[in-house]
Amino acid sequence: MKRMLRPFSLWMLLAAALLAWQTAAARELPDFTELVEEAAPGVVNISTSRVVESRGNPFQGFSEEDIPEIFRHFFGDRFPMPPGRSPSPGGSQERQSLGSGFIISDDGYIMTNAHVVDGADEILVRLNDRRELEAELVGSDQRTDVAVLKVEASDLPTLRLGDSDRLQVGEWVAAIGSPFGFDHSVTAGIVSAIDRTLPRDAYVPFIQTDVAINPGNSGGPLFNLDGEVVGINSQIFTRSGGFMGLSFAIPINVAMDVADQLREDGQVHRGWLGVMIQPVSRDLAESFGMDEPRGALIADLDPEGPAAEGGLQAGDVILEVDGSRVHDSSTLPRLIGRTAPGTEVELELMRDGERRQLAVTLGDWPDAENGGPTGRQQDDGQQARLGLAVSELEPAERERLGIDGGVRVREVAPGGAAAAAGIRPGDVLVSIDHQEVSSPSQLMSLAGDLPTDRAVPVRLYRDGRSLFVAMRLASD
């Protein structure tokens, strides 16, 4: 009898130990029930509608895999229409989209993504208690993808805002939104990376997470374990149109700075330096006498911009702005953009192998109402839109190729429009969308007007031979 009890007793001990281990492990996993119960009333569903002229579906006959856009906003009508729903040529059609948002003040101010409400003729907000209220667009900023809405209501439930600067990689986060119209869906994950730069967004240091995000989540809040909003879910990386493990959120500190300005006067004022920049490669760093490749290299300047007036020159490498280190070229637009126009900033730069200090008074972003500069005014982020950095072409090289203009491609951003088109560093870019390119500044000016509904031809010289490639820009 004793011999039979021993193995049975040992089995019971092992089972008890395993149960205790599983219980302890479960205690270490976060419990989001209280967070959801507290926060859900402050999250809203946003639906928009607009009337557009029907031109047919440009993606008709293509599968999701055929569409070359990598970064997709969660705006429903940016995806191919299902078979049988393509509009007939001519006439008009009402388009609808779904998104999310959250209440930031009890008197009816709501935050969401700019692309959720872009071009909307009507905006409806559905609250957690099932009330539907018509919303007014207070203002939106395309560069940060932030919009503020207002509904006529009072004593609304609000969400607590956190400090996105304190987020750490590996920290648990959760999202509440309306993916595919399923209201108040909750997903969770961890912070995968911070201060992430995306090809078309030079002004936002994105929070990267592995939280499951899908169309309809756009504009919804990202929470930390304390139930505080630390970000606005904005973009995903996808090849299929759905979640693939990479999602990106706008830090709440960035978003609230924009929201405060939108509530105050309906638009955003950001500092402007008036330069076109490019990354500093290891070879360039060595040629400039630098110990490491960092900073932002000035490839060109607006001759009437603050940088030129302050004494900056093409070839200068900006290393610091008011003591803040410029890690790479993507850092500079953020540091300058978050500084108020009219502010004098102290720049540390490398010129002719020597470090120098230079004070520059920032200007206001040109043509702010139209979302960016025109003519010879330089957009510090247009190179990010194209996914490349260029520089002037030497006269001897132009003569050798028998061309009057052209620019040299110095860097190509992985995953960007240029890389997808097959453009390589060292190529000479001669024309884009049938327009001759004469200088880096002129190329960046053209970039702001390029269409997103079709591929554009780009003429290149590579190894002394002329060739064309097709470039397709992602939708703004």
Active site residues: 115, 145, 218
Q: Which uninterrupted H or E stretch holds 133?
A: strand 132-141
Helix ranges (H only) for 322-416 are 331-337, 382-386, 395-401
Alpha-carbon distance of 380 to 299, in angstroms, equals: 11
- Provide the 10 A C-beta neighbour count for residue 351: 16
> First and final CA of the chain: distance in angstroms?
78
Alpha-carbon distance of 1 to 389, in angstroms, equals: 82
Look at residue 12 and give its three-state secondary structure: helix
Amino acid at 222: L
Quickly tell me which residue has 């503020």 as its tokens: 148
Cβ atoms of 366 and 373 within 8 Å: the answer is yes
Pairing of strands 344-351, 324-325: unpaired
Alpha-carbon distance of 227 to 161, in angstroms, equals: 9
Among residues 45, 42, 163, the alpha carbon closest in space to that of 105 is found at 42
Alpha-carbon distance of 21 to 366, in angstroms, equals: 62
Radius of gyration of the chain (CA): 26
Q: Which uninterrupted H or E stretch holds 189?
A: strand 185-198
Look at residue 385 and give its three-state secondary structure: helix
CA distances from 385 to 114, 123, 468 (A): 17, 29, 20
Cβ atoms of 192 and 210 within 8 Å: the answer is yes
| Cβ contacts of 4 within 8 Å, gap of 6 or more | none
